[in-house]
Amino acid sequence: MENSMLNRWPIDPGIVIISLAAVTILLLVMVIICILQNNKMYRRYDAFMRGRDAESLEQVIMDIIEENREIKQQDRATKETMKAVTKSVKGSFQKFGMVKYNAFKGMGGNLSFAFAMLDMNNTGFILNSVHSREGCYLYIKDVVNGEAEITLGNEEKEALEQALGY
């Protein structure tokens, strides 16, 4: 058998046969592992398809779909409520500024004050209360977009600047 192909290889043919046998055994082990994993997966699939406590898989899916519908309805209602609340908040007074001062130097204490209230768009009013011996006088001035149409006193300007955040 000198013309045999195995004799021409630079490796001993016995080593080649042993190597092929080892690869075959390794592949056989891998096939057995795959079969065991497949059986385990099939058992899990079968248990899943049967349902639990005699409950069908279809009923579980229908319950999940119904829950999803309810959640979507709640989400829509929540979004509508958030829009209404946002709209309401934009129109409410959010910015305030107050300055207490002594309107007349002869009187004791800072009993007079200027109070500015503005919404999100810097629109609102300035309330000015002037306290004197004869009485208390209250003035209100409109503010639109952060500016008053009527000339403001120093205290009123300061209260408006506080409300605007300057």
Note the pLDDT tens digit of each residue in 16-64. 889 999 999 999 999 999 999 999 999 888 877 776 655 667 777 889 9
Dihedral of the CA atoms 50, 54, 56, 59 (nearest 10)?
Answer: -150
**Domain co-membership, 99 together with 160:** yes
Structural domain tally of the chain?
2
Which neighbouring-strand residues pair with 124?
A: 118, 143
pLDDT at residue 54 in the model: 56
- 3 found inside a domain: no
Instruction: State the average pLDDT for the chain.
Output: 86
d(CA 118, CA 92): 8
pLDDT at residue 165 in the model: 86
**Domain co-membership, 122 together with 142:** yes
H-only helix segments in the chain: 5-8, 13-50, 57-91, 154-164
d(CA 15, CA 165): 88
Which neighbouring-strand residues pair with 95?
A: 118
Does the pLDDT at position 12 exceed 60? Answer: yes
* Position with higher pLDDT, 108 vs 116: 116
Give the pTM.
0.51
- 74 found inside a domain: yes
- 34 found inside a domain: no
- 5 found inside a domain: no
Which of 39, 62, 89 terminates a domain? The answer is: 89
**Domain co-membership, 122 together with 68:** no
d(CA 114, CA 152): 10
3-state SS assignment for residue 55: coil
d(CA 73, CA 69): 6
Which neighbouring-strand residues pair with 114?
A: 99, 128
**Domain co-membership, 137 together with 119:** yes
Angstrom distances, CA of residue 31 to CA of 20, 27, 35, 38? 16, 6, 6, 10
pLDDT at residue 103 in the model: 79
pLDDT at residue 55 in the model: 61
d(CA 72, CA 43): 35
Length of the chain: 166
* Confidence at 108, pLDDT banded by 50, 70, 90: low
Q: Look up residue 50 and give its two tokens.
A: 């049967």
- Boundaries of domain holding 154: 95-164
pLDDT at residue 87 in the model: 84
